[in-house]
A and B are shown apart, each in its own frame.
Chain A
């Protein structure tokens, strides 16, 4: 028994050695800073240092729930993320399948690059691209499209009703390329004999996609969705702060937990309260991931993360 175990470890030794650098990085970068969670429960005084600063219990968390905006920011954060969680994979899978159908190699490579491009652009640049489209007096939409149609220009940055759509479109445009590449890689890895077998059985192209490609993508979809659920209480700060140009009238639909914390603490510079918000977000995310994983493992055990 012992010998068997030894043999097993010996066999995997190179793999364990290869893990060391990555694990060291994770421990230093992700586990050690976890001790900083205590900042969320303290009133930090730099003269006393983190450890000696007084404990104030949950006082730092209060501001997140006391405000009349608490509901709005939670609603915005969660509902935008839910929409992203559904739409991004839908678009990404569609594009990945289409990419796979392209036979010309050079065209395929070109499309891949173009699709990934928005993901690599800084959000600040994106915010100016959006501004170039939406600016009241110089923007492309007001100047070239609405004017040509004989319609009056819209003051985009003062009208909240358009922004749920604008945010979603921008987020999709920026984010789908990355997921497309992941799905595309999975599709490429599907054994071509499945397709041949299906073709011999007389499956049409559509049927092959529906009954071979999609089932093969299932575990990738579940993994990416589970990871997304873990971040459901976070929002892309740049997307919600920079893209609407921090415009006040839009805040009912653009204020999320992250931007709320940023705006509120800009003046007071209180790291205790900022950490409290971070702890709250991670705890909720962690709980959600565990729950979602539990549900997944009940339905299809093989696809659960753990």
Chain B
């Protein structure tokens, strides 16, 4: 009998063991970066006055923890934290501790930190998205914080950008002051282009690109002419996804219409899939594109790929050089669709989590990072003399100190765009001295989606959204990678989306969008 009871216990425990392992399944895989990161981000020389001080001397001395994505080593991050603490000790009566987490594991790590209740005071939600975190109560609404401890930031960010950072009417993050629009491009190896004697400027349509790719295939059979990035052949397509999913604005470029439609049912999607399918048949796209588990930089770097579809920033500065330093070989981009600015492009923000020990001071630190050039330079480039040196004082141009190179510096400057305000920092050598002016005019001149500023809250259609996510993962990448015959697969895709409630999602999005448009008249 005793043996039986023990056996029962053991069985019970085994069942429970499996149960307890289930709640952590929702970790996130890495998505493509929202930005084509340029290591050589730029800035105009600092002119603004340092941020006004807020007095925290009556509060206990504390240490604020900041989380950032990027590949800086912990030694160098510590050195920068120490230098930064010298400033904050005086101004905010606190130390700052910056932790870096690599791109691949950032979302997972962040998720764990937020769920476990560990102390964290300032971070960027990055691929997790501020919307889900706000709905789950993991980040704080910042309207009051900004009004009390972030006045300079509140004034520095445009009303339009604040709109994009609002979730259900409240601000949940400070938008990074970076490029706020993107071009859609095909980025390719310059040496191969030169060898074939083709200039990027001669490309005008996908047909031209097709001819070029055929030439590449002939001259370099060892290269895949088009490669995918972790399974995705395209990062963005020329629609406004209104916060993600298949319910989109089909033509934000030319039309002011706010009609939400099913992207999968559109002619554009069908034509694109057909093009990709025929390219794949001709061997112009890497086989099994949708199951490729490598990023483009490793494929290009190892000479196995020629080019890839990606979204890029402005043409003049930091644009080819960014791709070049990522891939380790000279790259050039053909822009097939000009720049557009949608909510998503502005939605990279910095937020204060619920687990902060002192949200007021975290806000004040963010205010400092956004407005104080000294602090911004420290965060982005590290310590002067160690991680960089000024080579042109008048224009604020910097470069590596003597004897230091990109591979030995240990503090990455390639995520400048991910810090709150790169525009008040120095300019990295190799970019034009007017890089920031260029960026601003790029942002200003880009087409604006009529729905820019709208954010979608999917909590009322979460079951439909979950089901449709599954349908998407079945077809989307495989169709755009040319692996499925659109004639057969698209009707099936549409039917499954319909069965799983895409119409409910579209109706809900339309309802929210209309309400948003009404309130913004």
The answer for the CA separation of A279 and B20 in the assembled complex, in Å, is 9
The answer for the CA separation of A31 and B129 in the assembled complex, in Å, is 34
Evaluate contact between B474 and A265: CB separation under 8 angstroms. Answer: no
Given contacts A261-B25, A289-B11, A305-B7, contact A67 B18 (CB under 8 A): no
Residue-wise, chain A 183-214 has the 8 Å CB interface mask toward B (1 for contact) of 00000000000000000000000000000000
The answer for the CA separation of A277 and B466 in the assembled complex, in Å, is 13
Evaluate contact between B18 and A234: CB separation under 8 angstroms. Answer: yes
The answer for the CA separation of A135 and B293 in the assembled complex, in Å, is 12
Evaluate contact between A230 and B470: CB separation under 8 angstroms. Answer: no
Q: Which A206-261 residues sit within 8 Å CB-CB of chain B?
A: 226-227, 230-231, 234, 237, 244-249, 251-252, 255, 258, 260-261
- The smallest C-beta distance from A272 to any residue of chain B, in angstroms, reads 9
Taking a contact as CB atoms closer than 8 A, the residue among B11, B231, B473 that contacts A306 in the complex is: B11
The answer for the CA separation of A47 and B231 in the assembled complex, in Å, is 36
- The smallest C-beta distance from B501 to any residue of chain A, in angstroms, reads 8
The reply on A62 being an interface residue by CB < 8 A is: yes
Evaluate contact between A157 and B19: CB separation under 8 angstroms. Answer: no
The reply on A24 being an interface residue by CB < 8 A is: no
The reply on B47 being an interface residue by CB < 8 A is: no
Evaluate contact between A69 and B26: CB separation under 8 angstroms. Answer: no
Taking a contact as CB atoms closer than 8 A, the residue among A37, A231, A263 that contacts B469 in the complex is: A263
The answer for the CA separation of A26 and B6 in the assembled complex, in Å, is 12
The reply on A100 being an interface residue by CB < 8 A is: no
Evaluate contact between B470 and A248: CB separation under 8 angstroms. Answer: no
Q: Give the segment of A38-46, A84-92, A144-152, A168-176 that binds chain B.
A: A38-46
Evaluate contact between B288 and A158: CB separation under 8 angstroms. Answer: yes
Residues in A whose Cβ lies below 8 Å from that of B231? 246
The answer for the CA separation of A226 and B12 in the assembled complex, in Å, is 12
The reply on B290 being an interface residue by CB < 8 A is: yes
Given contacts A30-B13, A31-B16, A69-B470, contact A249 B483 (CB under 8 A): yes
Residues in A whose Cβ lies below 8 Å from that of B28? 266, 269
The answer for the CA separation of A129 and B91 in the assembled complex, in Å, is 57
Evaluate contact between A258 and B25: CB separation under 8 angstroms. Answer: yes
- The smallest C-beta distance from B432 to any residue of chain A, in angstroms, reads 38
Evaluate contact between A274 and B22: CB separation under 8 angstroms. Answer: yes
Given contacts A158-B288, A230-B15, A278-B23, contact A245 B132 (CB under 8 A): no
Taking a contact as CB atoms closer than 8 A, the residue among A136, A231, A286 that contacts B288 in the complex is: A136
Residues in B whose Cβ lies below 8 Å from that of A44? 136
Given contacts A46-B354, A67-B467, A264-B466, contact A135 B13 (CB under 8 A): no
Evaluate contact between A269 and B20: CB separation under 8 angstroms. Answer: no
The reply on B477 being an interface residue by CB < 8 A is: yes
Evaluate contact between B137 and A45: CB separation under 8 angstroms. Answer: yes
Evaluate contact between B11 and A262: CB separation under 8 angstroms. Answer: no
Chain B residue total in the interface (Cβ 8 A): 61
Residues in B whose Cβ lies below 8 Å from that of A261? 25-26
The reply on A177 being an interface residue by CB < 8 A is: no
Evaluate contact between B23 and A68: CB separation under 8 angstroms. Answer: no
Residues in A whose Cβ lies below 8 Å from that of B15? 230, 282, 285-286, 289
Given contacts A44-B136, A69-B467, contact A157 B474 (CB under 8 A): no
Given contacts A66-B467, A155-B483, contact A275 B22 (CB under 8 A): yes
Output the nearest chain B residue to A59 by Cβ-Cβ distance: B463
Evaluate contact between B23 and A157: CB separation under 8 angstroms. Answer: no
The reply on B496 being an interface residue by CB < 8 A is: yes
Evaluate contact between A46 and B288: CB separation under 8 angstroms. Answer: no
- The smallest C-beta distance from A264 to any residue of chain B, in angstroms, reads 4
The reply on A115 being an interface residue by CB < 8 A is: no
The answer for the CA separation of A271 and B27 in the assembled complex, in Å, is 10
Evaluate contact between B13 and A46: CB separation under 8 angstroms. Answer: no
The reply on B122 being an interface residue by CB < 8 A is: no
Given contacts A248-B476, A264-B469, A266-B469, contact A306 B8 (CB under 8 A): yes
The answer for the CA separation of A47 and B114 in the assembled complex, in Å, is 11
Residues in B whose Cβ lies below 8 Å from that of A46? 114-115, 136-138, 354
Residue-wise, chain B 456-477 has the 8 Å CB interface mask toward A (1 for contact) of 0010001111110111011111
- The smallest C-beta distance from A19 to any residue of chain B, in angstroms, reads 9
Output the nearest chain A residue to B20 by Cβ-Cβ distance: A33
The reply on A36 being an interface residue by CB < 8 A is: yes
- The smallest C-beta distance from B417 to any residue of chain A, in angstroms, reads 23
Taking a contact as CB atoms closer than 8 A, the residue among A66, A136, A226 that contacts B287 in the complex is: A136
Residues in A whose Cβ lies below 8 Å from that of B22? 274-275, 277-278, 281-282
- The smallest C-beta distance from B455 to any residue of chain A, in angstroms, reads 14
Evaluate contact between A137 and B26: CB separation under 8 angstroms. Answer: no
Output the nearest chain B residue to A293 by Cβ-Cβ distance: B11
Among A68, A245, A246, chain B packs the most CB atoms within 10 A around the CB of A68
Taking a contact as CB atoms closer than 8 A, the residue among A246, A252, A274 that contacts B291 in the complex is: A246
Evaluate contact between B291 and A267: CB separation under 8 angstroms. Answer: no
The reply on A17 being an interface residue by CB < 8 A is: no
- The smallest C-beta distance from A12 to any residue of chain B, in angstroms, reads 9
Residues in A whose Cβ lies below 8 Å from that of B476? 248
Evaluate contact between A47 and B16: CB separation under 8 angstroms. Answer: no
Residues in A whose Cβ lies below 8 Å from that of B465? 267-268
The answer for the CA separation of A212 and B17 in the assembled complex, in Å, is 36
Evaluate contact between A269 and B137: CB separation under 8 angstroms. Answer: no
Residues in B whose Cβ lies below 8 Å from that of A136? 287-288
The answer for the CA separation of A127 and B477 in the assembled complex, in Å, is 20
Evaluate contact between A48 and B137: CB separation under 8 angstroms. Answer: yes
Evaluate contact between A29 and B26: CB separation under 8 angstroms. Answer: no
The reply on A96 being an interface residue by CB < 8 A is: no
Given contacts A29-B17, A271-B23, contact A306 B474 (CB under 8 A): no
Residues in B whose Cβ lies below 8 Å from that of A246? 231, 291, 473
- The smallest C-beta distance from B498 to any residue of chain A, in angstroms, reads 9
Evaluate contact between A305 and B136: CB separation under 8 angstroms. Answer: no
The reply on B4 being an interface residue by CB < 8 A is: yes
Q: Which B87-119 residues sit within 8 Å CB-CB of chain A?
A: 111, 114-115
Output the nearest chain B residue to A68 by Cβ-Cβ distance: B499
Given contacts A262-B26, A266-B29, A269-B111, contact A34 B4 (CB under 8 A): no
Residue-wise, chain B 395-412 has the 8 Å CB interface mask toward A (1 for contact) of 000000000000000000
CB<8 Å pairs between A and B, sample of 10:
A30-B17, A37-B19, A46-B115, A48-B137, A69-B467, A135-B287, A136-B287, A269-B26, A273-B466, A277-B22
Given A30-B20, A69-B500: 16 more A-B contacts, CB < 8 Å:
A26-B9, A36-B20, A45-B136, A63-B463, A63-B467, A66-B501, A136-B288, A157-B291, A226-B11, A245-B293, A247-B291, A264-B466, A267-B129, A268-B469, A274-B24, A306-B5
